[in-house]
Amino acid sequence: MAPKFYHDDPVWADIDPLPQDDGGLHPLAAINYTDEYSEAMGYLRAVMANNEFSKRILELTEHVISLNPAHYTVWLYRAKTLFEINAPLRDEIEWLNPTALKHLKNYQIWHHRQTVIEALGSPDGEADFIDSMLEHDSKNYHVWSYRQWLVKRFDLFEGKGELEWTEQMVEQDLRNNSAWNHRWFLVIGGRDGRALDEETFKREMDFAKRLVRKAPQNQSSWNYLRGLARHANSTSALKDFALEFADLSRPDEIHSSHALDLLADILATEEDQKEEARQALDLLATRYDPIRAYYWNYRKGLLEQPGAVA
Amino acid sequence: MPVRVSLRARHRNMRMKKMAAPKSSSAEAPSAEALSSRLEELPVGSDRIEELSDTENEYEDIGTITQAEQAHIDYLESVTIPIRDEPETESSKAQREAFEDIRPFLEGNPNDFPLNIFGLPKLQREKHAAFLKSALGDYPSKFAPMDAARPWLLYWSLQGLTALGCDISEYREQVTHTFSMAAYPTGGYGGGYGQYPHLAATYAAVLSLTIVGGTDAYESINRRAMWHFLGQMKQPDGGFTMAPGGEEDIRGAYCGLVVLSLLNLPLSLPPDAPARKHGLTTFLDKLGAWVSSCQTFEGGLSAAPGNEAHGAYAFCGLACLSIMGPPKATLPKHIDLPRLIHWMSYRQCAPEGGYNGRTNKLVDGCYSHWIGGCWALAEAATGRALWNRPALGRYILAAAQFEDGGLVDKPGKRPDGYHSCYNIAGLSHVQHNYVYDEAESGAGSVLLDAPWRWKTQGRYQGDVLWGEDDVVGQVHPIFVTPWGAAEECRKYFEAKEGF
Ligand SMILES: [Zn+2]
């Protein structure tokens, strides 16, 4: 694309650009801006100083964003402008979609999108757009965080197959921890402490157990399972399940270090099982997860303290 | 005596050696949108080196491996989890492929660095220093996406350089000048001239000025305006936004408290702070509970309530709580500590030894600090040794040093200031002990004085894998500045009357 300039553009003839001021000394980490970037920024500083909010600001900020999408100031000023001039917000979303796909790792764009969608008051089309982002990067932190905001803001906990969607995401890659976290958010985390009903709890336990069986060494599914059980104060009920993968009487046939870890926790709470708990932790420290030996030994130390369980 | 090694293993080493050969010299412009407001996950251009085709004649150089290499191979074997993680998915495939790239560096020495007596590459102090110094210089125009992140560029280089033992006083005047141009008239710092104030930029600016130190640097900060700016960031729910109209996340809580504490600002909210309308009167109101709400079912901390547990955010949360009071009191009060420690422990990747930031993600050198830095705080709260320091030291020395200087996320990636700073900080956490002086706490008359009660306690005495030449400087566990610099800054402002 050919560089765009303002000084010979009659639309901008009323503006005296404010050039970059580096003061007297040469600054550190100075960027040798292109003439195009310098000039666009000079005009932006000038209109910001005038508190100008108008249609041409949208063009100017779009231009600067195309040159530097990480410029939070430009995004914030653009958002202000949108609201000051009552710009059509659907158009903004239409413009944001390809822009986001072009700058996948960009941070500011998600906050901007959130601001616009909040004002629009409708989540229509957002789920599809998020899907297309996750196709490029299935663990993008901002995209998932945005989805959580969306679910909460528009109360999508039950609606439009949100739960089925996470199931699909988890099935696609059962190690995608972001998908597991979103599921937790839907079922428990986002619901402001509302109690988990019996049926949902059972459904989620079954879901997690099924996926643990599919990949017994997958940390994500174990974390989810343990989180659920802890939430329902029923960790000790997982003992038989843990034993399926880690039977202390057959120390050569451990199928999951996470099962050993959980088992050690459960045994630590039981009467007269401290020795077994110690054995599980020893197996972890010496054979099945030795890089964390310091941690396992710390856990062994806790066994001596009454009532202290990890 | 050298021993023979299997053709396959040797082939792997040889191939990696060629892969790591110098690439095109023109530095790739980082598509670093993230820098300005992100404390992690710098996007790096996809410059993973092409694997050489098998048709190239590498087999002739099949030789022997040294005893040291054999020892590394044996070590890796000994810390590998002996359970196959099946079935393969996108994540495990990425893990397997990343490890193929990393393994030659953990087994051998593809960069041909001089080795220390433990057979690990020595810390390439001069090369890293040269890299960090050049990062303070001019950038070509394609670095425009870093325009809002320039405060970070200064901080990462200055912190990295001081930890490497370099004298940075030559930069003092320029640092002060650079930030005087980025100061926002109504308080705080932006990424540069004319940019809105932002808490990440403000944090990097205040820390940079703290590192260079001196009256001119300190006095260049408009503390009264800063106090008002922070008052604008404080939210009714207890957290902080990053910028006016910007996002609220746990970085804000940490950056805000760092600035309040370093500059000895009043803890009461300014009269014009919007949160006052909601009944809040101090910066600490509802803050502990807000940080607490970021702890997830996994035990780690997230950017904001409901999000995924993440290493960089965990550090922000723990450090924030450790500014609010003694870790032994504030951590257990606001965090389920056993679950946090469980999650932190699992961030250490086996057998790599480095850390990842989230469950089932890849090892990355920057978490050497984000998670590595959490340990001193967690150990201050528990009084126990909790983590495998030698394994992290091994990853940093063997896998995170770039051939031409600078440190990296993992082999195959380009170095940058961010990964250099935080790998070096991680190495410091590995090598030095810090204790929180409980004896003094509680006696303090000044609020937010908990960060000033840390004491150094010599070097780590366990299985060290580094020589004297490989030891970096001490770093303050909360502020991530050279030991003593933060104390100087605070003392200066404590001695001042009013603003
Ligand atoms: Zn990184």
What's the pLDDT score for residue B62?
Answer: 52
Give the residue-averaged pLDDT of A180-197. 92
This complex has an ipTM of: 0.97
Neighbours of B494 (CB within 10 A): 11
What's the pLDDT score for residue B47?
Answer: 35
Neighbours of B97 (CB within 10 A): 12
- Record: contact A215-B87, CB cut-off 8 A: yes
What's the pLDDT score for residue B63?
Answer: 63
Q: Per CATH, is B68-494 categorized as 1.10.3470.10?
A: no
Closest chain A C-alpha to B249 CA, distance in angstroms:
11
Burial class (CB in 10 A: 0-12, 13-18, 19+), B495: exposed
- Record: contact B191-A178, CB cut-off 8 A: no
- Record: contact B306-A257, CB cut-off 8 A: no
Closest chain B C-alpha to A215 CA, distance in angstroms:
6
Q: Which residue of A has its CA nearest to B180?
A: A23
Active site residue A105: yes
Asked if B332 has any chain A CB less than 8 Å from its own CB, the reply is no
- Amino acid identity, position A1: M
Question: What is the mean pLDDT, run by run of 10 residues, along chain B of 499 residues?
Answer: 38 40 38 39 34 41 78 98 96 98 97 97 98 98 97 98 98 98 97 97 98 98 98 98 97 98 96 98 98 98 98 98 96 98 98 98 98 98 96 98 98 98 98 89 63 96 97 98 97 92
> pLDDT (tens digit, 9 = 90+) per residue, A119-138?
999 999 999 999 999 999 99
Residue of A21, A31, A174 lying closest to B146 (CB–CB): A31
What's the pLDDT score for residue B13?
Answer: 44
Question: Given pLDDT bands bounded at 50, 70 and 90, which one contains residue A15?
Answer: very high
Comparing CA positions, the residue from B474, B421, B402, B409 lying closest to residue B156 is: B421
What's the pLDDT score for residue A270?
Answer: 95
- Record: contact B178-A27, CB cut-off 8 A: yes
Comparing CA positions, the residue from A176, A234, A159 lying closest to residue A202 is: A234
Closest chain B C-alpha to A251 CA, distance in angstroms:
12
Total residues belonging to chain A: 310
Give the residue-averaged pLDDT of A39-60. 98
Active-site residue, from A55, A80, A105, A274 = A105
Q: Is the pTM of this model over 0.80?
A: yes
Comparing CA positions, the residue from A128, A190, A181 lying closest to residue A154 is: A190
Question: Could you tell me the CA-to-CA distances from B238 to B166, B269, B289 in Å, in that order?
Answer: 40, 12, 8
With left for phi above 0 and alpha for psi between -120 and 50, is residue B402 left, alpha or beta? beta
Q: Where are the domains of chain B?
A: 68-494
Cβ atoms of B415 and B405 within 8 Å: the answer is: yes
Strands of B176-324, DSSP E:
none
